[in-house]
Amino acid sequence: MNSAVLKKTMYWFVVPALLMYLVFWIYPILKLFQYSFSDYNGFIQDFNYIGFDNFSQIFKDGVAATALSNTLIYTLVFVVFSNLIALGLAFLLNMKIRATGLYRTAAYVPTLFSAIVVGFIWSYVYMPDSGLIATILSWFGYDGANLNLLGNYDSALYAITSVDIWKHIGTSTVIFLAGLQTVPVDLEEAGKIDGANAWKITRFIRLPLLATSITINLTLSLINGLKAFDYSFIMTNGGPGRATSTLLFEIFRMAFREQQYGKASALAVVSFALIIVLTSYFVLKMNKREVSA
Amino acid sequence: MVKTKKKMTKVIAGVTVLATSVALLSGCGSSDNKESGKDGSKNVTLTMVVSGNKAADGQDFELDVLPKMINEKFPNIKLEVQKLPDDQYNTSIKTKLAAGEAPDFFRVWPRMGSAASIIDLSKAGYLADLTDLPFMSNITDGARTDMSNDGKVYGIAKGIDMLGTYYNKDLFAQVGVTEIPKDWESFLAASQKLKDAGITPIVMGDKDPWWIQFGAYQLAANTVYSADKDFDLKLQTGETKLTDPSWVKAISMYKELYEKGYIAKNSLGLGGPQATQMFIDGKAAMIFDGTWDYPTLTAKGAAEFERGFFPLPGNEKGQPVWQAVSTAAGWAVNAKTDHLEEVKQVLNYWFDSNSDLFKEWVKLNPSISAFNGVPLNNDLYKESYELYQSSGNSSYFANQMWPNGVADNLQVKFGEIIGGRNTTAEDVAKAMQSKFDELWKK
């Protein structure tokens, strides 16, 4: 440990940051596990321990099941579409065409806005009767007044997922684009000489070399989907009914609206376990498929 | 030599680390700055957090008028007011209280209503006892009791609020409805007439789910509380259930309005602001809302028309109509305030019926005053208010006697009905009762 470059005393400088991390991050997480076994209501400090009641209650009243299925649908749609669109966009933006810089910027701009702003704007886009989509449809003779994407049980979840996809595409595209540019030109040329057409070059040279970017993007979007909260909160309030109530939104609703802090903690513990299991499964699986140039 | 130097560095590093850590952590606490004023009294900053939306036009009482007039009267007191939308307020106030970061004054709801309620918060010891303040005897008994727990007064109500139906007199006249509906049958008939004439009879902002309560409680006043005023007390002892026929009836009557298309389609896509806009623009003939929304609903929209107000008649023909009338939300004082003296000074001035501030408050207050001898402000409510005073047929807003969360289940489940799911009125009642069983205890 006696390094000439890093003196032992230097380790002391980690302490302030570590202290903050422990007090504001690790300690609350440990508290969460404690609260999940209690009937704590969030503001009266004396509470009772009630064993696994919270856990059985969240499964019994069906709230966990609804929130879970909403979250999984959200995640699936989000992961598939945001990555497919971003991949396509990255291939397009990687072509040698005029003003690529402009298009690349345009693709990235939605990412720059905060979720609050995006959610607010899209509420107006989706508004029945006078919203952007309704207005455009009415030009073609459809009755825009009947288009109520956010107020309809069957479409609300997909409507908010689309907004998240729209916002997220920029990030994924940039990562794919960076990946594409590391694909060595000589490999592509070698492919061409061997008589491979554009599709074959993409399928057998570019995509395998993009594996690292794909892993990163899939993981990021998976985590992003599983912790979906923003748009349910801003655009639909989890509604109509519980149609857009995701795990995190349900935790928020229980803890701060219904004052069932203990029950919310139990749901948080369940989501915590779920997110860890799903993410690590995918990361491990995809790491095996990566190749290097 | 080298060794001692090394030791020195270690010590210095240790001290630095400790100092920074302490500084970082103490930065989280609040610092009070008290300076002495000219006359020797201390300069004090009081804080207030309330809920609601800023008045659309003109001066907002809490945000503009109150701080200014307090400072004019007490030059050493500065009042800082923050107004949050209801939803954000409800989700943050308890956390603030638990963390010891609560303001000196804040919004509370009577009995058990809403998230920040007199009973919940006083049980937890967060509210200062205001019983001894001199103006208390000037407040009507009902309003004082609703803001009390165990015989101690913990809050001052804004006044009395009524739920009702705001309607567009011009549109009613246009389709030939000359008399305001006095029972359920004639209410349905009037709605049908409007609908037949191509006018949206009722608009609601159900995207903000609490709007569902505005209609439901008016109907429940007629089907539930007219027959049994103590329904909720019995509910707490298990004698009655929310699944009893009377509540199911209220829910199915409300359901009927949606099924017959009297309430604007797509109301789940409209928030409160959009719904009220439709009403003042003359695009819908009625809206269920409370007296607190007077400024919004009487604001000028795209159409000029005369407004009226009547209780939603959920009664059978020949029976008297029951109204949902309740003590309004109000203000409470933080039990842990550092400036109780100044807080009391402010309250005593504010609620002294002879003070300028009191007069200004009465003028700008949309709720009906709960102070003795203050006349009704807004002519719009005259008929309903007189009916309320003469008949006494009224009940409070039902959620004031339920644990917070039961009304939430009403909203979620009834939302399914609006959204065209196959949810029945019985399902809604069942969900409410099971939430009640889960939360009422202990």
Exposure pattern of A167-202 as b/e (b: 16+ CB <10 Å)?
A: bbbbbbbbbbbebbeebeeeebeebeeeebeeeebb
* Structure confidence at residue B92 as a pLDDT band (50, 70, 90): confident
B5 interface with A at CB cutoff 8 Å:
no
What is the model's pLDDT at position A268? 92
What is the model's pLDDT at position B20? 58
* Structure confidence at residue B27 as a pLDDT band (50, 70, 90): very low
What is the model's pLDDT at position A144? 67
Condensed to tens digits (0 to 9), the pLDDT of residues A180-226 reads: 988 888 888 898 898 888 888 888 888 888 888 998 899 899 989 99
The mean pLDDT value for A48-58 works out to 87
Q: For residues A5 and B211, which has the higher predicted lDDT (pLDDT)?
A: B211
What is the model's pLDDT at position B379? 85
Asked whether the beta carbons of B93 and B49 are under 8 A apart, the reply is yes
What is the model's pLDDT at position A43? 75
The partner residue sitting opposite B404, judged by closest CB among A45, A252, A259, is A259
A-B C-beta contacts closer than 8 Å: 120
What is the model's pLDDT at position B432? 93
B13 interface with A at CB cutoff 8 Å:
yes
Percent with pLDDT over 70 in chain B: 90
What is the model's pLDDT at position B36? 44
Condensed to tens digits (0 to 9), the pLDDT of residues A140-162 reads: 887 766 778 888 888 899 999 99
B437 interface with A at CB cutoff 8 Å:
no
Work out the minimum CA distance from A168 to partner chain B, whole angstroms: 25
The partner residue sitting opposite B10, judged by closest CB among A9, A152, A258, is A9
Percent with pLDDT over 70 in chain A: 96
Condensed to tens digits (0 to 9), the pLDDT of residues B331-388 reads: 999 999 989 989 999 999 999 888 989 988 888 888 888 888 888 878 889 888 888 8
B99 interface with A at CB cutoff 8 Å:
no
What is the model's pLDDT at position B31? 42
B434 interface with A at CB cutoff 8 Å:
yes
CA distance B202 to B207: 15
The answer to whether the bond into A240 is cis (omega within 30° of 0) is yes
Contact B269 A151 (CB under 8 A): yes
Residue B30 has pLDDT above 50, yes or no: no
The mean pLDDT value for A133-142 works out to 84
CA distances, A244 to each of A40, A70, B13, B298 (Å):
26, 7, 52, 34
Rounded to a whole number of angstroms, the distance between the first and last alpha carbons of chain B is 69
Q: For residues B282 and A99, which has the higher predicted lDDT (pLDDT)?
A: B282
Mean pLDDT of all residues in chain B? 86
* Structure confidence at residue B91 as a pLDDT band (50, 70, 90): confident
* pTM (global) more than 0.80: no
Tokens of B139: 């407040």
The partner residue sitting opposite B21, judged by closest CB among A16, A152, A242, is A16
Condensed to tens digits (0 to 9), the pLDDT of residues B229-276 reads: 889 989 989 899 999 999 999 999 999 999 999 998 888 888 888 899
Contact A239 B91 (CB under 8 A): no
Q: Point out which residues pair with B332 in neighbouring strands.
A: B106, B155
Helix (H, G, I), strand (E, B) or coil at A75: helix
What is the model's pLDDT at position B74? 92
The mean pLDDT value for B20-33 works out to 49
Taking CA–CA distances from A253, the nearest residue in chain B reads B91
The partner residue sitting opposite B14, judged by closest CB among A12, A253, A260, is A12
What is the model's pLDDT at position A143? 74
* Structure confidence at residue B23 as a pLDDT band (50, 70, 90): low
Q: Are strands B160-168 and B394-395 parallel, antiparallel or unpaired?
A: unpaired
Tokens of B178: 């000359």
Contact A16 B123 (CB under 8 A): no
What is the model's pLDDT at position B14? 61
Taking CA–CA distances from B267, the nearest residue in chain A reads A151
The partner residue sitting opposite B94, judged by closest CB among A43, A48, A61, is A43
What is the model's pLDDT at position B7? 64
Which chain A residues are within 8 Å of B267, Cβ to Cβ? 151
Which chain A residues are within 8 Å of B404, Cβ to Cβ? 257-259
Asked whether the beta carbons of B275 and A158 are under 8 A apart, the reply is no
B305: amino acid identity, one letter: F
What is the model's pLDDT at position B34? 43
| Three-state helix/strand/coil letters over chain B | CHHHHHHHHHHHHHHHHHHHHHHHHHCCCCCCCCCECCCCCECEEEEEEEECCCCCCCCCHHHHHHHHHHHHHCCCEEEEEEEECHHHHHHHHHHHHHCCCCCCEEEEECCCCCCCEHHHHHHCCCECCCCCCHHHHHECHHHHHHCEECCEECEEECCEEEEEEEEEHHHHHHCCCCCCCCCHHHHHHHHHHHHHCCCEEECCCCCCCCHHHHHHHHHHHHHHHCCCCCHHHHHHHCCCCCCCHHHHHHHHHHHHHHHCCCECCCHHHCCHHHHHHHHHCCCEEEEEEEHHHHHHHCCCCCCCCCEEEECCCCCCCCCCCCEEEEECCEEEEECCCCCHHHHHHHHHHHCCCCCHHHHHHHHHCCCECCECCCCCCCHHHHHHHHHHHHHCCEECCHHHHCCCCHHHHHHHHHHHHHCCCCCCHHHHHHHHHHHHHHHCCC
Taking CA–CA distances from A14, the nearest residue in chain B reads B17
The mean pLDDT value for B168-187 works out to 92
B9 interface with A at CB cutoff 8 Å:
yes
Contact A148 B14 (CB under 8 A): no
Which chain A residues are within 8 Å of B97, Cβ to Cβ? 43
What is the model's pLDDT at position A94? 87
The mean pLDDT value for A69-74 works out to 94
Q: For residues A241 and A144, which has the higher predicted lDDT (pLDDT)?
A: A241
Contact A239 B421 (CB under 8 A): no
Q: For residues B390 and B252, which has the higher predicted lDDT (pLDDT)?
A: B252
What is the model's pLDDT at position B386? 86
Long-range contacts of residues A103-111, Cβ cutoff 8 Å, at least 24 apart: A104/A177, A107/A169, A107/A170, A107/A173, A108/A170, A108/A171, A108/A173, A108/A174, A109/A170, A110/A166, A110/A167, A110/A169, A110/A170, A111/A167, A111/A168, A111/A169, A111/A170, A111/A171
CA distance B400 to B396: 7
B78: amino acid identity, one letter: K
What is the model's pLDDT at position B17? 59
Cα angle: B141, vertex B143, B144; to 5 degrees: 65
Contact A43 B21 (CB under 8 A): no
Contact A258 B434 (CB under 8 A): no
Select the residue from A10, A148, A231 to test the B interface by mutation, using most B Cβ atoms within 10 A: A148
Residue B12 has pLDDT above 70, yes or no: no
Q: Point out which residues pair with B105 in neighbouring strands.
A: B48, B333
Those of residues 104-163 in B touching chain A at CB distance below 8 A are 115, 120, 123-124, 126
Cα angle: B213, vertex B186, B282; to 5 degrees: 65
Residue B6 has pLDDT above 70, yes or no: no
Work out the minimum CA distance from B17 to partner chain A, whole angstroms: 6
